[in-house]
Amino acid sequence: MKGNSLIRIHECFILRNGKIIKEDLWIRNGVIVNPEQVFYLEQVEADITIKAFENLIIAPGFIDIQINGGWGIDFSYDSENVEEGVKTVAQKLLAHGVTSFCPTMVTSDKDKYAKILPKIKKSQGGRDGATVLGVHLEGPFICPAKKGAHADQYIRNPDKGLESLEEVYGSLDNVNIVTIAPELPGALDAIKGLTSKGIKVALGHSSASLAQGEEGVKSGANLITHLFNAMLPFHHRDPGLVGLLASATDKQVYYGIISDGIHTHPAALRIACRTNKEGLVLVSDAFAAQGLADGSYRIGPMAVSVENGRAYVAGTKTLCGSTTALDECVRTFKESIGCTLEYALEAASLHPAKALGIDHKKGNLNFGCDADFVVLNPTTLKVMSTWIAGEMVFIDEDISNIE
């Protein structure tokens, strides 16, 4: 299918504006177009008409804003082969309906950032893999008491604000998100500096009180990294970062949540959803073991042991990352909280797009948006086909007879 062809997907079920509707989906030059423009002003016919999706659902492509690797690849470790590693994961993600992602680096030494960050460039997706939206830097500016699977010897304070971050990371050109603990010395100045550069800030791996979290939000942060994990537990006298779900700050706070059936109890998922429905963002937090069997792996400098699909820092019972792809998280989330199909799908597409401020182009199927979408079985939510910029980049063998 040529990129400039006018494509019509005939009488399909489309998720748009929170509802599943039945109509044609029109695409040209990688963008969803308004059929009224085609019919009444241009008066042209489609170059290609597809009729194979009549009993399936077309939803916006999934966007994973926290993923450490997969299929044996660790974005934080192999600095010599990082470009090939990102390409491998990007290609594998297509089978899971992921059309865009943020490769995530965990707390590492300064030398790793210098070698790896310049090599993970933002890039448009296609047949070779999902779109790279920019790197998510998770650490090293985190609270040692809530380090989780992060190596303490590399954890730092951002004493000099943004300058401290630039000293460690080097160039921020390829960065999309930085996770930081707001209670650290210099953190608020760092948050202001990052947001002035258009970089999103997530609060996480933190012992912050609610008041400190609110100061972080007022300074520019709009995300929470993997809610409930690596932060103070909710307490009625000081709910900590969890309290940001219902705080009085005047901006929407988004929060990543790992619904792999391991990291977050179904009741906790329900509490978060009912407290702040619009802010819930499904993330995989997957690492090198994604798609592979139990065994020994690593996440950055840390050795990891995977037992029955659960990843632990080697020799401990500290959870570190997930082995579950985002499409499975969507299925688990829907089953766990009993939400609508529409909501579960938007939690992995529209919500992360809004959190990143790219929902005018990604995360929905409105006219003028990028034609990035996933075709799903409505009963099993199995990914049948994945499309990026109007091009089919993955197809399941069960529907290989598209015409």
Instruction: Give the model confidence (pLDDT) of 218-230 as tens digits.
Output: 999 999 999 999 9
Helix H, strand E, coil C: the string for 171-189 is CCCCEEEEEECCCCCCHHH
The model's pLDDT over 213-262, given as tens digits with 9 standing for 90+, comes to 999 999 999 999 999 999 999 999 999 999 999 987 789 999 999 999 88
Residue 229 counted as an annotated binding residue: yes
User: Which of these, 153, 154, 205, lies nearest to 184 by C-alpha position?
Assistant: 205
Mean pLDDT of the chain: 94
Residue 369 counted as an annotated binding residue: no
Per-residue pLDDT at 403: 46
CB 178 within 8 A of CB 165: yes
One-letter amino acid at 237 equals: R
Same CATH topology for 7-60+363-399 and 62-356? no
Residue 237 counted as an annotated binding residue: yes
Query: Kind of pairing, strands 131-132 and 73-74?
Result: unpaired
Residue 3 counted as an annotated binding residue: no
For 221, phi then psi, to 5°, come to: -65, 145
Residue 263 counted as an annotated binding residue: yes
- Range 62-356 has CATH code 3.30.420.40: no
Domain ranges for the chain, please list them.
7-60+363-399, 62-356
CB 143 within 8 A of CB 205: yes
Residue 149 counted as an annotated binding residue: yes
Q: What percent of the chain shows pLDDT beyond 90?
A: 85
Residue 351 counted as an annotated binding residue: no
285 is catalytic: yes
Residue 331: helix, strand or coil by DSSP? helix
> Which H or E run contains 224?
strand 223-224
- Cα 323-264-150 angle, rounded to 5 deg: 60
Token digits of residue 8: 């019509």
One-letter amino acid at 3 equals: G
Q: Is 95 left (phi over 0), alpha (psi -120 to 50) or beta?
A: alpha
Please tell me the distance from the alpha carbon of residue 141 to that of residue 22, in angstroms, as a whole number.
48
Which residue of the set 260, 285, 327, 372 is catalytic? 285
CB 381 within 8 A of CB 330: yes
Chain position carrying tokens 């010897």 = 153
Q: Which CATH class is domain 7-60+363-399?
A: mainly beta
Please tell me the distance from the alpha carbon of residue 68 to that of residue 137, in angstroms, as a whole number.
10
Digits of tens for pLDDT over the chain (403 positions)? 545 789 999 889 999 999 999 999 999 999 999 988 877 777 788 888 888 787 899 999 999 999 999 999 999 998 889 999 999 999 999 999 999 999 999 999 999 999 999 999 999 999 999 999 999 999 999 999 999 889 999 999 999 999 999 999 999 999 999 999 999 999 999 999 999 999 999 999 999 999 999 999 999 999 999 999 999 999 999 999 999 999 877 899 999 999 998 899 999 999 999 999 999 999 999 999 999 999 999 999 999 999 999 999 998 988 888 999 999 999 999 999 999 999 999 999 999 999 999 999 999 999 999 999 999 999 999 999 999 999 999 999 876 555 4
